[in-house]
Chain A
């Protein structure tokens, strides 16, 4: 990065857009690099301890984050106060991490101060001389990202300087990112996809990155794509949900009015990828010049810094006969393999099992404030001298290509077979008369497969007919018996984002009162 800034200090590095796509602020490579040097010097003068960074805007965020890294301080990433929930989250992270300083935006300083933290705006540290460039050892922790989930049991994933460098090189090699590329992103920077995949990759490879607020995208997805057109974006990225929102909100007429012909990569990861939805996205935006080959499914997680496996640029999407989306192969220098459920061994010969990853991008473990220590992951596995991280995800392979399927915790093992719950649920939906099943949870109980269904309000046929068709279709497809039950609408346990919680549904089903289920014989 220092080299890129020195080679062409006047080239554009970062641009902040508002939620309507209007430019707020821009900075060149040279300007950014100098600010990082000055902020780094101020940070280095602080007492020992981590620095929490959560400014709104990509420019302040980059200055704070990279300023901390160059000072050799552990950076803790947290969301800006874009909503009441995110504000609470950021304050919880600060309470758990105990930063020596919170580097934030003007309007967020008071809340951190009131909570007992030393806090200041990024601009307040941006003065004085630049710090000399220091190369920190690869094994030194660079930053901590708290995984989503309860802060009662915080999981602060530590990423080292070596992890970061390795994964940036992997992304650059597989995406083929160059200075000629342009990124337009709405991804939050306190999560791996926005931080590693968009912001840092852009700075690493020297391409301009235009950032808009995530809330602005959720409210007006068209702003994202119009900004992509205006600024000539060649690289876009989002979880499956982001592309689905574009489909929901942007009709064919509006889509046809755009020009997305320069987009060569639209990466998609971070949650199970819905292949038919992505194909629909490509079809909807084809009149705007969007090339289907730009679709780039990938698989990753914060424990892998970001990227674990990926399709290569220009390959497009590949789906298996089972309907799953290929997330490609491991990038150069990294590996993935599957762990056999019976033998417990990780091997390239295993065709289906728990996805395990290995390489210089894999985090050493969880950071603990007590003693500033790193604790290895519970799911680490040492086999023949090689360290593998078990991801908890189920997948299968075809050659070198990985097809992630589901969370392993939700897979059903019955009669020596491991069946992904999502596959069983898809079969249920497929077997039932169209439009009759609103929600379904599949799990193993009482030595058989149980599926609980919430039926549509006016299904147009009887409940008995629906359950019978489901049972027949299921038995035909899997050769397994199934207990299909209807439950009242809205009674299956769900996460806050509406995802069915299968394990909780199973617990309820097995409890003596069986709340929410129709008793046998009805």
Chain B
């Protein structure tokens, strides 16, 4: 239940907040007391919902996300740090293209 910043960058914090917003909207997890360091499995995020999440996060942040990375970095804090680390560089044309409408 960490509410500290866990040493995350501003981008990573924004992503962590987005993950908490999204997961608490589809699962029975309290947003006010979101468990940032609990495994996605323990929160009840199944494999289909995880892939949908990856797609929505791509669209929101304009980056490419491999859904299998959710298993390698299975908490909101760890996944946000991982994705923000990748997104630090310039956005690729491919990544920006996943706005999907484009």
Contact = CB atoms under 8 A, between A and B. Distances in A.
Interface of A: 20, 83-85, 215, 218-223, 245, 249-251, 253-254, 257, 454, 489-490, 496-498
A245 B98 CA distance: 16
A220 to B, nearest CB: 5
Contact of B98 (A220, A251, A454): A220
A454 B55 CA distance: 29
Contacts of A219: 51-52, 54-55, 58, 67
Contacts of A249: 52, 55-56, 59, 100
Contacts, number: 49
Nearest to B100: A222
B52 A218 contact: yes
Contacts of B49: 498
A281 B8 CA distance: 40
A250 B49 CA distance: 17
Interface in B59-102: 59, 67-68, 71, 94, 98, 100-101
A221 B98 CA distance: 11
A84 B54 CA distance: 16
A220 B100 contact: yes
Contacts of B98: 220
A215 B101 contact: no
22 contacts: A20-B94, A83-B51, A83-B67, A84-B71, A85-B47, A215-B67, A218-B55, A219-B54, A219-B55, A219-B58, A220-B98, A220-B100, A221-B55, A223-B100, A249-B52, A249-B55, A249-B59, A249-B100, A250-B100, A489-B28, A496-B46, A497-B46
A254 B55 contact: no
B42 interface: no
Given A219-B54, A245-B52, A497-B46, A83 B68 contact: yes
B55 A490 contact: no
B48 interface: yes
A219 B58 CA distance: 9
Given A220-B98, A222-B100, A490-B28, A215 B51 contact: yes
A254 B28 contact: no
A254 B71 contact: no
Nearest to B32: A457
B58 A220 contact: yes
B96 to A, nearest CB: 13
Contacts of A497: 46, 48
A135 B1 CA distance: 65
Interface size bracket, B side: 10 to 19
A223 B64 CA distance: 14
B3 to A, nearest CB: 20
A221 B67 CA distance: 14
Nearest to B52: A218
Contacts of A218: 48, 51-52, 55
Nearest to B98: A220
Contact of A254 (B56, B67, B68, B101): B101
Contacts of B51: 83, 215, 218-219
Nearest to A495: B46
B91 to A, nearest CB: 16
Chain B CB within 10 Å — which of A83, A245, A254 has the most? A83
A224 to B, nearest CB: 11
A215 B67 CA distance: 9
B44 to A, nearest CB: 8
A257 B46 contact: no
Contacts of A250: 100
A522 B54 CA distance: 43
Given A218-B48, A249-B52, A254-B100, 12 more contacts: A83-B51, A84-B47, A84-B68, A218-B52, A219-B54, A219-B55, A219-B67, A220-B98, A253-B101, A257-B101, A489-B28, A498-B49
Contacts of B58: 219-220
A85 B100 CA distance: 27
A34 to B, nearest CB: 36
Chain A CB within 10 Å — which of B28, B46, B49 has the most? B28
A454 B56 CA distance: 27
Chain A CB within 10 Å — which of B48, B56, B67, B71 has the most? B48
Contacts of B67: 83, 215, 219
B97 to A, nearest CB: 8
A220 B55 contact: yes
Nearest to B30: A457
A155 to B, nearest CB: 21
A445 to B, nearest CB: 24
A490 B24 CA distance: 12
A267 B11 CA distance: 42
A84 B67 CA distance: 11
A480 B58 CA distance: 49
Contacts of B54: 219
Nearest to A496: B46
A257 B102 CA distance: 10
Counting from the closest, the 3 A-B pairs by CB-CB distance are A490-B28, A219-B55, A218-B51
A257 B56 CA distance: 19
